[in-house]
Structure 1
Amino acid sequence: MARVTPCGADAAPVWVLLGARHGDNQQLLAIADALGVPYRTVPLRFRVAAGLPPILLGASRLSWRSKDTAALQPPWPRVVLAAGRRSVPAARWIRRQSGERTRLVHVNRPWAPLSWFDLIVTTPQYALPEQANVLMHRLPFMQPQQPIDVPLPLALQPYAARMPRPWTLVMVGGNSRPFVFDKEAAVGLAHLVNAQVRTHGGSAWVLGSPRTPATAMEVLAGSLDVPSHVVRWGEGENPYAALRQRAQRIIVTTDSASMLTEALLTGRPVVPFALPRQPDWRWSLATAWRVAATRRPTSMVARSFDILQGLGLLSSLRDLALLHRALEAAGAFDGSGRVLDMARQEREITLARIHALIARY
């Protein structure tokens, strides 16, 4: 790690804009750590105006502030790393203060004109168009598991002693538009866990998450008929890191790209469980528009989609099915371990592109 404090006297060539989404922040920090250069974190707080499209806010400070105003002083960074629509005005404001010299790197999708950014690092679920400044990878940027042993929490060690090996880790997500984890999905997941344990032997550890509905978790627990132990979110110390190291295979629900990536980066066989969809009208409209534009790229529908997307007024809402298909086509779920090589190569490409921007300042 090469972080400097927000008010440090040393110039940091990279600034990381931290927002409200934990997953976005973790991905930004993983990139910054891997760059191997000093960087500064700038936590952002958002005002009501942050709900407006970035194209209307421009490079203003109307929609955001930083709790550490002393951090927003020269020397300005060579590169800003940011994620999420609400961070876009802050990144552009910093670039304006630098005399337009600061390069902007955005992770995932910006909901803003793509031409504003020097590099956009994204994955298939956002369905961004192919452009020179869009770097499309199959996995989010995450570092692989560290070899440091993480012990199981003491409270779970008596259960572990009675759990036959090999262990199957079941990572349970929850409701995340358009996915829902309801009672029917809980029964289906239990059937998959039962079948996997019967086929491969051993037992299952079932871990909930902050988004896992309590009622669905109870149905899941009651539908398991193989040796298992269920850990609900908030029950004592979280055993997630320890079990990721010790499980021989993983079952993961398909509502979270980061959770799926963490499972794949263990290098062990991963079985995805598709949650049912209950899309709202907005998701259905945007997705249908994108699909129609893809099928007829020269049509008025496609041209209108491209124009509005170019202005940042329209974006394909997250469709994790696109990510799953890309990973399946790449053989990510076959347990061969080649997904680790794929992830490493993608990380190296991302870092090389950002280092090139740093050098161009």
Structure 2
Amino acid sequence: MGQGAAAIWVLLGARHGDNQQLLAIAQALGLPYRVIQLQFNAAAALAPVLLGATRLSWRTRDAEPLQAPWPPVVLAAGRRSVPAARWIQRQSSGRTRLVHVNRPWAPLSWFDLVVSTPQYALPQRENVLVNRLPFVPGEPARAVALPASLQQHAAAMPRPWTLVMVGGNSRPYVLDGSAAIALAQRVNEQVRSSGGSAWVLGSPRTPATAMDRIERALEIPAQVVRWGRAENPYAALRRTADRFIVTMDSAAMLTEALLSGRPVLPFALPARPDWRWRLASTWRAAAERAPASLLARSFDALQDLGWLSSTRDVGLLVRGLEAAGVFDGQGRAPELARQERQATVTRIRRLIDAS
């Protein structure tokens, strides 16, 4: 869209999941928006508090330059996009409002709104909106056919279908050999209990060795589809599967399964945290036990400054969703998502109206 008509600028980075959330929010707002693809250099590894509102770490792929009229709102996600969002805000003389998705790894006070989910354990702030589900695209409105190369296999697979969505290594979670075998055993148990067969889909992060182990350990009728080896049947299976098993390394994958309204079984991957994750987790836990202590105040202060990032603990997300009763396939997840999406859109529209 032409920049003169764009009420929203959407800064896309390198992470597909982040980009999908940003685009879903922009589309839900129902306003003209401009998509800007960012590219980053080695300086992007520096903390946003060091880079400030500069162009040292990023550039755009767009033919259109970034220039006035500046947008009322910028949507962004990820640490590396923060300098770009702040640079745009500076060019607008502070009039552009900043909306950040997930965690910014930067002072929360820099943003007019941070839209997050429980796994990031952000502190309570007026400008932080914590939803229980990420803002991801809903289930496709139209049926999608299975790729022709898989239709013969599908005809031979008994119903009901269990769709197994396999992620991979995503710090601090790992899909190693033992986790792969444990996942296959869980699939065996589920299919023996419910009957039918299983589709096992890999993702870009799934190690090839893990998929090999899963396939060898499966003892029930199953079709294993490796990422990039064939046409991707995910869109079709998401609509037609009867139940899901999802590895807990990706909140977006889990949410997409839940939005089907059918039963979902999350599968926990083992965590292998580095020293930074262990330090932040231990510090956060101690702060929660004594919220009025100096330890808690120092933790909050360092988070506000962006020097100490919140840890990503998908277990926090799953526990919140379990409390909401969304895993049993009774349709609670789509309704919860609808309510949270509306709350998010309302908050952003208020920023646009006030700009």
Structure 1 equivalent of residue 62 of structure 2: 68
**Backbone CA RMSD of aligned residues:** 1.2
Residue type at the aligned position of 2:189: A
Structure 2 equivalent of residue 228 of structure 1: 222
**What is the aligned counterpart of 1:265 among 259, 262, 266?**
259
Structure 1 equivalent of residue 318 of structure 2: 324
Structure 1 equivalent of residue 90 of structure 2: 96
Distance 2:156 2:58 in 1: 52
- Secondary structure of the residue that 2:4 maps to in structure 1? coil
Q: How does 1:189-200 map to 2 (within 5 A)?
A: 189-200=183-194
Residue type at the aligned position of 1:293: A
TM-score, normalising length: structure 2 = 0.97
Structure 2 equivalent of residue 47 of structure 1: 41
Aligned residues: 355
Distance 1:232 1:136 in 2: 34
TM-score, normalising length: structure 1 = 0.96
Q: Does 1:295 align with 2:271?
A: no
Q: Does 1:284 align with 2:278?
A: yes
- Secondary structure of the residue that 1:286 maps to in structure 2? helix
Distance 2:253 2:104 in 1: 22
Residue pair 1:108, 1:123 contacting (<8 A) in 2 also: yes
Residue type at the aligned position of 2:123: P
Q: How does 1:17-166 map to 2 (within 5 A)?
A: 17-68=11-62, 70-166=64-160
Distance 1:199 1:104 in 2: 49
Distance 1:230 1:21 in 2: 25
Residue pair 1:11, 1:75 contacting (<8 A) in 2 also: no
List gaps (5 residues or longer) in structure 2.
none
Greater Cα offset, 122-131 or 225-234: 225-234
Residue pair 2:43, 2:56 contacting (<8 A) in 1 also: yes
Greater Cα offset, 50-59 or 331-340: 50-59
Residue pair 1:287, 1:317 contacting (<8 A) in 2 also: yes
Distance 1:25 1:239 in 2: 21
Residue pair 1:206, 1:230 contacting (<8 A) in 2 also: yes
- Secondary structure of the residue that 2:64 maps to in structure 1? helix
Structure 2 equivalent of residue 170 of structure 1: 164
Residue pair 2:97, 2:112 contacting (<8 A) in 1 also: yes
1:257-289 C-alpha deviation (Å, 9 max, x unpaired): 111011111110000111111112121111111
- Secondary structure of the residue that 1:10 maps to in structure 2? helix
Identity of counterpart residues, as a percentage?
68
Structure 2 equivalent of residue 360 of structure 1: 354
Q: Report deviation, 1:9.
A: 5.8
